[in-house]
Amino acid sequence: MPESTAQSTQTTSPSSSGTAQFRRETSAKGEFVRQANRFTERITADGSSGRKVEPGRYRLIWSRACPWAHRAAIVRRLLGLEDVISLGTVDPIRDERGWRFSLDPDGRDPVLGVEFLSESYLATDPGYEGRVTVPSLVDERSGLVVTNDYPRITLDLSTEWKAFHKPGAPDLYPEDLRAEIDEVADLIFHDVNNGVYKCGFATTQDAYESAYDALFARLDWLEDRLRGQRYLLGDRLTEADVRLFTTLVRFDAVYHGHFKCNRNKITEMPVLWAYARDLFQTPGIGETVDFDQIKRHYYGTHHMINPTGVVPKGPDTSGWTTPHGRG
């Protein structure tokens, strides 16, 4: 999918911490530019990539707060790969060294033995100076990062790890729909998934308003598309739905206010709100959502946007479990 390659190397705007962990790249026009994925090895069923699918060999590092990592955790659970690929969870609050394992006993990942994900990054590339990101798949034996290529990770879980899917697991990337899934997911990436960040991290009014207009035009398009069908590709849950969900579930809690995406809330868009609740209530999805960690991460680490670090008490999230009427 093209989202992993649409990058830039233009100017950098550091936050108050002044470290690589918190830098945000922007263009000369003040537009947010997402950092390129540094580690892009693949783990394949036949091992032709140099790394072969092997149960118990790899560890998925994620944050409950991060939408890009959240995708991988959802797909892992939907496919029943919990006993095949282990899961390590970082704290939603990063310090100057980035994602940390302070939720674990003694502040170390119990499998990798590291305090910070950056240790694995630097063991893999001692000269690495970019931001450390999740999700990351790490080789448990060597402690080295295999990939942080978030769009490819979930596709490979669906296609290369099929031999280990649970009985009845959904086919999230079926061959007959791949071209359409790629097309829809690419539109969603640019305007919605990354669009909220382009609003939140814009450093000029024009860049912000351009991203804002594209975001809500796409949300209106999605509202219309989903009016007559249950999922983005009809009656089948696919990778595209997972990718959209992780932005929708964060929208009212953080993007609406924190990132200034405030034309309206998702709860004020009847079709998208029902669709989001439908996905939330799907076994394997809603239980991966942690609104507390989501809010603490965004409001507590983006010091350039929220210098006080105060985390809002709202919104009320009880509506996520109300009937959605889309079955």
DSSP 268-280: GSHHHHHHHHHHH
Distances (CA, A) of 5 to 37, 240, 246, 252: 8, 18, 20, 29
pLDDT in tens, 135-172: 999 999 999 999 999 999 999 999 999 999 999 999 99
> Which one of 58, 173, 197, 299 is the catalytic residue?
197
Q: Is 254 annotated as a binding residue?
A: no
The answer on pLDDT for 70 being more than 60 is yes
3-state secondary structure of 221: helix
Residue 327 is predicted with a pLDDT of 83
3-state secondary structure of 125: coil
Model confidence band, residue 9 (pLDDT cutoffs 50, 70, 90):
very low
Q: Is 249 annotated as a binding residue?
A: no
Q: Is 184 annotated as a binding residue?
A: no
pLDDT in tens, 298-310: 999 999 999 999 9
DSSP state of 139: E
Angle at 37 between CA 44 and CA 299, to 5 degrees: 120
What is d(CA 307, CA 192) in angstroms, rounded to the nearest whole number? 25
Q: Which of the four CATH numbers 3.40.47.40, 2.40.160.50, 3.40.30.10, 3.40.50.980 does domain 58-164 have?
A: 3.40.30.10
What is d(CA 73, CA 81) in angstroms, rounded to the nearest whole number? 10
CATH class of 175-321: mainly alpha
DSSP 52-76: B--TTSEEEEE-TT-HHHHHHHHHH
Q: Where are the domains of the chain?
A: 2-32, 58-164, 175-321
Residue 31 is predicted with a pLDDT of 92
Residue reference for tokens 């975001």: 215
Model confidence band, residue 25 (pLDDT cutoffs 50, 70, 90):
confident
**Percent of the chain at pLDDT exceeding 70:** 93
Active site residue 199: no
Q: Is 134 annotated as a binding residue?
A: yes
Residue 270 is predicted with a pLDDT of 98
**Higher-scoring residue by pLDDT: 183, 6:** 183
The answer on pLDDT for 179 being more than 60 is yes
